[in-house]
Structure 1
Amino acid sequence: MSDPRHPTDPALLERLAREKNAWLCCVRSDSTPHVTPVWFVFLRGTWWIGVDGDSVKARNVERAPAVSLALENGRSPVVAEGEARPHRDRFPQEVVAAFAAKYAWDVTAPRGPGRTRVLLEVPVRRWLLAGVAQ
C-alpha cells in the first residue's frame, strides 16, 4: 500500500511542479492566523519554501511549526498540513537546484546586507484536499 503523504497521482505531481505560488498559513504569537503567498518546490512528499530570516513567517514557525499550504486554484483545491522545520544553513543542494530550475532564483541569496535566508522544510503530514487517499 502506498503512503498517502507521498502523492502518486501524475496530475497532482504535475501541478505541484508547475504552479508558482502557494498560500502558507501559520500562527502568530497572539494565536491569529498569518496567511501569505510563497514560492515553493515540492520534492518527495515535502514542500520547501524560502523566506527571509527575519520575516513574520520565519518567526511564526520557529515558535509554532504547524502549518497549512494550499495551491491558488480554488476550483481544484490542493491543501496539505505539516510541521515546518526551519533550516538556517546547509540548504540541500537538490532543493537549491529545484528553486533555480523553477524560478531562476537563488533561494540562498539574502535580500540585502545583514539579512539571512531560511529554508522551510514541510513534510506532508496529511492532505486535506488533493485527490489522494486520506
Structure 2
Amino acid sequence: MSTRLLDPADPTDAHAAERLASEAVIWLGTVAPDGRPHTVPVWFAFDDPTVTVFSRPDTAKVGHLRTHDLVTVALDTAGQGADVVTGSGRATLSELGKVEKALDAFGRKYAPMLGSQPLDAWLMTFSLPIVVTLDRFVAWRNTADGLEYRSLPSRG
C-alpha cells in the first residue's frame, strides 16, 4: 500500500479528506496521444492516496491511459471558489477482483444515486476500474481565521 498523503490531524487535510469521501463527482484529467488534455466528471471512491473510478472500457479516457498514465483529479470548488482540492498521480487499469475494498466503498457511497439499480447491474456497463495513485495534492480554503493552504508532498 502506498503512503498516505493526508494527515488527519491537520485541519486542511481533514477537510479535504471529508470532501473526497462525500463529494459525488471528481474531474479526471488524462492526456490524449496528441498531447491534448481531456477532462471528464466521474464517480469515485477515495482511500488515501488512491482514487478509484469505474469506466466503460471503450471511453477516450481509457484509450488515453493505455499510452499515458499521468492524470489529474479535481473536485468542484466549493465556497464560491474558496475551497479547492486537486491532485495528480499515475493511473492503472485494473480488474474488479483487485479493487474489492474500493468497490464496497463505492457501492455504499452511490447506492442512493443508483436507486433500485443493483451495483452489479451498473458494473456491467462501467466494468473497468481505474486506480489513480496520487503523488501530489493541493488544497486551500478560506476560513474565518484566513487562508489555509496545503501542498503535498511539501517542498522544503
Quick check: TM above 0.5?
yes
Which TM-score bucket, shorter chain as reference?
Answer: 0.7 to 0.9
Q: Unaligned stretches of 5+ in structure 1?
A: none
Task: Map 1:1-134 onto structure 2 (within 5 A).
Answer: 5-8=5-8, 9-73=13-77, 74-104=81-111, 106=119, 109-111=123-125, 117-130=127-140, 131-132=149-150, 133=152, 134=154
Structure with the higher fraction of residues in helix conformation: 2
Instruction: Specify the SS of the correspondent of 1:79.
Output: strand
Q: Which amino acid aligns with 1:14?
A: E
Over the matched positions of the two proteins, sequence identity in percent amounts to 27
TM-score normalised by structure 2 residue count: 0.73
TM-score normalised by structure 1 residue count: 0.84
Deviation track 1:57-114 (CA, whole Å, cap 9, x = no partner) reads 1111111000000001143111100000111342321111111100015277122xxx
Contact 2:70/2:89 (CA < 8 Å) preserved in 1?
yes
Structure-2 separation of matches of 1:119 and 1:19: 19
Instruction: Specify the SS of the correspondent of 1:99.
Output: helix
Q: Which amino acid aligns with 1:126?
A: R
- Larger relative contact order (Cα-Cα within 8 Å, sequence gap ≥ 6): 1
Q: Which amino acid aligns with 1:12?
A: A
Q: Unaligned stretches of 5+ in structure 2?
A: 141-148
Contact 2:6/2:14 (CA < 8 Å) preserved in 1?
no
Which structure has the bigger radius of gyration?
A: 2
